[in-house]
């Protein structure tokens, strides 16, 4: 536990991505199973101890210190775990006890109930120093908030043991903590985990923004870029799962998709809801706002299933009935997907249509005249491209319909004024200065305080409070993991800003709860929109 507490303490005090990677990689190399596996799960929100809530810690503290002192301290510090770890009274006559291992702590937390937690938790806290208490409370209540995303943790694991991050990602989501098989493979040179028959996630292929003008349409196929959420539908071993682009299992949110795939396969597509529920064309795709009614729900009512029925508009086939198609050219995969469609129920699947055009100018005209609310723009896919994990140059391009929309990452938040004085409603966001997977930093590019509903404001305020990394007067720095799609009128060169850019009238166009931060746009893409 002492080593894990030291890791958390070090992570809290650095904002450098490379330093975080080095810290996690060193911990994974230097510590043994199963502690390092439990640490990895804790850093990526892979553990859940329902018996311990923040209220449990609050109640324990108010029994041990003056309630007014606790309330004022908690309000000033802004973090329950940090406040409690510093204010927890040291035992008067501590008995010498062996050090707690992280595995032992996880075992004891897992055994707690709501009734036993208030009795058992103090005994654990008494055995630790302030750093250990902080780590224990963070572990027990969830949400480490030390600036470590699942993507960064996977990269650190790959760095620690010199294995491809794409392979780590393939195995990761199919294994349970403490990931003994993963460490046996990567750290000890053992065989790869045997995941035959497991419906596991495969890394998505991503696209670069189209920034340099025309491409040769003889080399590329164009299809619509649909405005839903990118998903992977996987069937194996008689079980189907639905994964988001970050590898999260969202199957329970869309139960109507779990018994409709009639063969073993891994399919890539866009999850949408039917437009008929909103008065659109029967069977067509509704806007993203309609889809939002289904996102993030742990349980889905029959009324919701009827009003917002989900379906998948297919883009690609990765694996089909035992054959891996990822190395095949796009044209072959597309032909395979087209031949597959008659075997799939039309109620839950359709095919993303290609867009035919004589030349690039004609394609631009088609793109600009598209009026379907469910269309974001176009995708351009090289006809010979394999399906490769990540974003590779010159293979796939995304060409959004509205050039004055860009994906940014929330960096800082500040309370508003007037009726918003109790909410963190003013948001500073940034774009990547280069490839985030290569260590590029985020640079602030704008600030906005409009474009969201009152309900969304409450969710954003809660996000800011729960993901604060540090404070600078009235400003909170937040963990870089929430993406905003920002709309703006124009962008200009500016010497006053570190990014060298200033946006005119930026506003939040959409909150992308589903999109990982490393997929946000780059500063160069924003700079390309400057008009002379």
Question: Which domains can be identified in the chain, with CATH numbers?
Answer: 2-141 (1.10.3260.10), 205-400 (3.30.470.30), 405-527 (2.40.50.140)
Range from 5-14, 289-298, 323-332 carrying the lowest mean pLDDT: 289-298
Instruction: For residue 112, give the nearest of 51, 58, 55 by alpha carbon.
Output: 51
Convert 114-125 to b/e letters by CB count within 10 Å (16 or more is b).
eeebbebbeebb
Please say if the pLDDT value at position 282 is more than 60.
no
Structure tokens at 219: 């080399």
pLDDT at 112: 95
More confident residue, 249 or 492: 249
E strand or H helix that includes residue 406? strand 405-415
Structure tokens at 92: 């008067």
- Cα of first residue to Cα of last residue in the chain, in angstroms, is 58
pLDDT at 403: 56
Q: Where are the alpha helices (DSSP H) in 111-164?
A: 117-126, 130-141, 150-161
pLDDT at 154: 92
Please say if the pLDDT value at position 471 is more than 90.
no
Please say if the pLDDT value at position 283 is more than 70.
no
pLDDT at 205: 96
Element counts in the chain: helices (H) and strands (E): 18, 21
Please say if the pLDDT value at position 279 is more than 60.
no
CA distance 461 to 233: 33
E strand or H helix that includes residue 396? strand 396-400
Instruction: Enumerate the β-bridge partners of residue 470.
Output: 477
Confidence of residue 373 (pLDDT cuts 50, 70, 90): low
Instruction: Write the pLDDT tens digit of every residue in 79-101.
Output: 888 899 999 998 877 667 778 99
Range from 13-27, 153-167, 213-227 carrying the lowest mean pLDDT: 213-227
CB atoms within 10 A of CB 527: 16
CA-based radius of gyration for the chain:
25
Structure tokens at 157: 């694991």
Indicate the average pLDDT of the chain.
90
Backbone angles phi, psi at 496, to 5 degrees: -85, -15
Match 């959409």 to its residue by tokens: 510
Backbone angles phi, psi at 369, to 5 degrees: -95, 0
More confident residue, 75 or 334: 334
Q: Identify the top-confidence range among 140-154, 241-255, 407-421.
A: 241-255
For residues 275 and 288, the answer to whether their CB atoms sit within 8 Å is: no
HSE-CB of 190 using CA atoms within 13 angstroms? 10
Please say if the pLDDT value at position 421 is more than 60.
yes
E strand or H helix that includes residue 382? strand 375-382
CB atoms within 10 A of CB 135: 27
Please say if the pLDDT value at position 276 is more than 60.
no
């Amino acid at each position: 536990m002492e080593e894990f507490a030291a890791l958390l303490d070090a992570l809290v005090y650095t904002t450098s991505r490379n330093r975080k990677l080095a810290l996690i990689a060193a911990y994974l190399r230097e510590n043994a199973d199963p502690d390092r596996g439990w640490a990895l799960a804790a850093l990526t929100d892979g553990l859940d101890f329902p018996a311990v809530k923040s209220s449990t810690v609050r109640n324990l503290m108010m029994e041990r210190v003056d309630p007014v002192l606790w309330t004022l301290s908690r309000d000033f510090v802004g973090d329950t775990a940090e406040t409690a770890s510093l204010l927890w009274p040291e035992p008067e006559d501590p008995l010498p006890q062996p050090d707690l291992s992280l595995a032992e702590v996880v075992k004891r937390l897992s055994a707690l109930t709501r009734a036993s937690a208030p009795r058992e938790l103090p005994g654990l806290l008494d055995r630790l120093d302030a750093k250990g208490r902080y780590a224990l409370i963070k572990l027990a209540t969830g949400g480490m908030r030390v600036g470590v995303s699942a993507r960064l943790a996977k990269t650190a694991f790959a760095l620690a043991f010199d294995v491809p991050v794409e392979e780590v990602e393939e195995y990761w989501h199919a294994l349970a903590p403490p990931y003994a098989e993963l460490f046996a493979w990567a750290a000890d040179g053992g065989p790869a985990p045997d995941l035959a028959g497991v419906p596991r996630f495969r890394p998505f292929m991503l696209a670069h923004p189209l920034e340099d003008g025309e491409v040769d349409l003889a080399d590329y196929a164009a299809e619509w870029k649909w405005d839903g959420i990118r998903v992977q539908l996987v069937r194996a071993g008689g079980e189907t799962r639905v994964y988001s682009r970050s590898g999260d299992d969202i199957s329970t949110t869309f139960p109507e998709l779990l018994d409709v795939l009639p063969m073993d396969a891994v399919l890539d597509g866009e999850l949408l809801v039917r437009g008929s529920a909103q008065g659109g064309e029967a069977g067509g795709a509704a806007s993203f706002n309609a889809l939002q009614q289904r996102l993030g729900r742990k349980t889905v009512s029959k009324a919701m299933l009827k009003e917002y029925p989900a379906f998948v508009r297919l883009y690609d086939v990765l694996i089909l009935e035992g054959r891996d198609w990822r190395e095949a050219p796009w044209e072959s995969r597309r032909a395979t997907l087209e031949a597959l469609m008659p075997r799939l129920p039309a109620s839950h699947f359709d095919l993303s249509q290609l867009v035919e055009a004589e030349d690039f100018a004609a394609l631009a005209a088609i793109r600009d005249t598209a009026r379907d609310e469910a269309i974001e723009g176009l995708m351009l896919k090289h006809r010979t491209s394999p399906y490769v994990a990540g974003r590779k140059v010159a293979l796939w391009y995304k060409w959004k319909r509205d050039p004055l929309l860009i994906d940014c990452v929330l960096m800082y938040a500040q309370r508003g004024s007037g009726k918003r004085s109790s909410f963190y409603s003013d948001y500073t966001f940034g774009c990547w200065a280069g490839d985030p997977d290569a260590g590029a930093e985020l640079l602030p590019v704008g600030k906005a305080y409009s474009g969201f509903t009152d309900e969304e404001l409450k969710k954003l305020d809660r996000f800011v409070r729960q993901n604060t990394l540090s404070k600078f007067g009235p400003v909170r720095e937040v963990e870089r993991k929430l993406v905003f799609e920002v709309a703006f009128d124009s962008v200009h060169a500016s010497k006053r800003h570190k990014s060298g850019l200033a946006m005119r009238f930026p506003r939040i166009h959409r909150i992308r709860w589903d999109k990982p931060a490393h997929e946000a746009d780059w500063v160069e893409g924003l700079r390309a929109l400057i008009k002379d």
